[in-house]
A and B are shown apart, each in its own frame.
Chain A
Amino acid sequence: MGRITLDKVSKSFGEVEVIPPLDLTIDDGEFVVFVGPSGCGKSTLLRLIAGLEDVSGGEIRIDKQPATHLPPAKRGLAMVFQSYALYPHMSVKKNIAFPMKMAGIPEAEQERKIADAAAALNLTDYLDRRPGQLSGGQRQRVAIGRAIVREPAAFLFDEPLSNLDAALRVGMRMEISELHKKLATTMIYVTHDQVEAMTMADKIVVLRAGVIEQVGSPLELYREPRNLFVAGFIGSPKMNLVTGAGDLMQGAATIGVRPEHTAASKTEGRWKGVVGVSEHLGSDTFLHVHETGLAETVTVRVGGEFDANHGDTVYLTPEEDKIHRFDGEGLRIA
């Protein structure tokens, strides 16, 4: 069905190697998220899989068939683009029908599939509209509809939610997750937003400068980040990475404490510091604490009722069994 294997795949643009040789296996039915800061090569990797770019070396196999040199259309994959890439001159219906028209599927079958997709995506009332007359969320659904009707071996999503506003993004996130559960088709999803990665993925692939930093389930990455980069990237707010914390170091060069694994008190605790900013979210409060002697700022999450203001002295205490330790190279110490 939709098992995708990358074997020593690499990509260079001229002299610049953006992706050094890389191995990755994506299992059938898996929801895999490529995540990393902008410029990490995640979109390039997706485009290599799609066939929109040539690989500079290595092999891509889709369902054990070599696909490295197949044109995009022959790979049996569907893609949802960041800008949705809808055809502005065609109605919603024609947009969804386009891949089927190209494949020469009979009209009657096209009609049936369009109706199914439209019903599943709440687009039935909009079939005769042009993309320009739709909201961002609706356009996104049309793009997904266009992908669904092809019954692809895998769906590729290239930052599909980044053009939506925050509220809509949460909704669409869940719709895509639900779609995945329903179709049970392989999905590869590219994002720079670690929240999307954590909430949607079966498997997260963290990329930096074209190199895979870690592959694992969201909780694996959260609990056991393999190195400082993953530690800093996964989790919100970011893990505090501190040095010089005395006996807590236990031989590590850097230790990491997540804000949610640190307690704060006005009277006593391991580390003393001064509150710079306290952000009240209602349920929680984030304290950004300076002058701890550990890092410029240490962030802690406390309950919403904890009362601290700029300039107050607070004492912080990390949960010792939740401390992450990294060596001088930045690698996790087991």
Chain B
Amino acid sequence: MARAVTTQRKTINTIFAWAVGLLIFFPILWTILTSFKTEATAIADPPVFLFFDWTLENYAVVQERSNYMRFLWNSVIIAGGSTILGVIIAVPAAWSMAFVPSKRTKDILLWMLSTKMLPAVGVLYPIYLLFIKLGILDTRVGLVVVMMLINLPIIVWMLYTYFKEIPGEILEAARMDGASLREEIIHVLTPMAVPGIASTILLNFILAWNEAFWTLNLTAAKAAPLTAFIASYSSPEGLFYAKLSAASVMAIAPILVMGWFSQKQLVRGLTFGAVK
């Protein structure tokens, strides 16, 4: 039972919380505002907040000059491809662990998680070398595979926790009704798990989109996604604040929106079900 709270107390809470919330959000807000300024306004002293001549020029420049679309497309392919591939591999595995548990299931799940905790830098050179040998350095295929592998434990884990919530009796009913294993997964399990699968896809897309170790180290010109594109602004180009801001906003906006939708699943996915 929620208790009745005085309006006064609620007002104080509201003011305080909004102040803190805006403070935390401010760097993003400031980036968004700056992206609509001219370069001159962007470094004006004192800085201007809202009252300037809004312009879309930076967005146009960034797109034209830096081939933004290619980086964006790389990001989409890498994040999307790795997530979808991961889900295709993870669904059968999660089915097995959720519905046909054995004594080793728990160990396998924990072991999968432990691979996620391997520090990337520890295997940087071997992967780099393998990529050269296989001829997939700076290719989207290579990154799709790596992103899939680093997120596979989380995908398996999330799907597992969602599948666990589906009563086994329903799958047994399907079996009694004459469904084969494939039919059972396609006609019964998957439709029932759609919300869970969707949030798994969403969260892992976000994680892959923002990943910035392998994308920085395994790509150069061809397959570089937005993380690398933005990093290229760390050179003197970064002094063009308005353009940097426009590029940043374009890189984070879609993910920010997706992230807001997936905040509930975020907790489950990132704590491996330990906090619900």
Binding site for B on A (CB under 8 A): 50, 52, 71-73, 77-79, 81-83, 85-89, 98-99, 102-103, 146, 150
Contact = CB atoms under 8 A, between A and B. Distances in A.
Interface in B146-179: 167, 169-170, 172-179
Given A88-B192, A89-B192, A83 B177 contact: no
B175 A73 contact: yes
Given A81-B172, A87-B192, A89-B192, A103 B167 contact: no
B266 interface: no
A82 B173 CA distance: 11
A87 B193 CA distance: 12
A81 B169 contact: yes
Contact of B176 (A72, A83, A87, A103): A72
Give the interface residue-count category, chain B: 10 to 19
Given A73-B179, A83-B169, A85-B167, A98 B174 contact: yes
Interface of B: 167, 169-170, 172-180, 183, 187-188, 191-192, 194
Contact of A82 (B169, B176, B180, B188): B169
A72 B180 CA distance: 10
B172 A85 contact: yes
B178 A73 contact: yes
10 contacts: A73-B175, A77-B176, A79-B172, A85-B170, A87-B188, A87-B191, A98-B177, A98-B179, A99-B176, A146-B173
Contacts of A81: 169, 172-173
Nearest to B194: A89
Contacts of B173: 79, 81, 85-87, 146
Given A72-B175, A73-B178, A89-B192, 10 more contacts: A52-B176, A71-B175, A73-B176, A73-B177, A87-B170, A87-B174, A87-B191, A88-B192, A98-B177, A102-B178
A26 B192 CA distance: 37
Interface centre among B176, B187, B194 (most CB of A within 10 A): B176
Nearest to A97: B177
B178 to A, nearest CB: 4
B188 A50 contact: no
Nearest to A143: B173
Contacts of B191: 87, 89
A305 to B, nearest CB: 47
Nearest to A82: B169
A87 B173 CA distance: 9
A261 B20 CA distance: 77
Contact of A50 (B176, B183, B194): B176
Contacts of B174: 87, 98
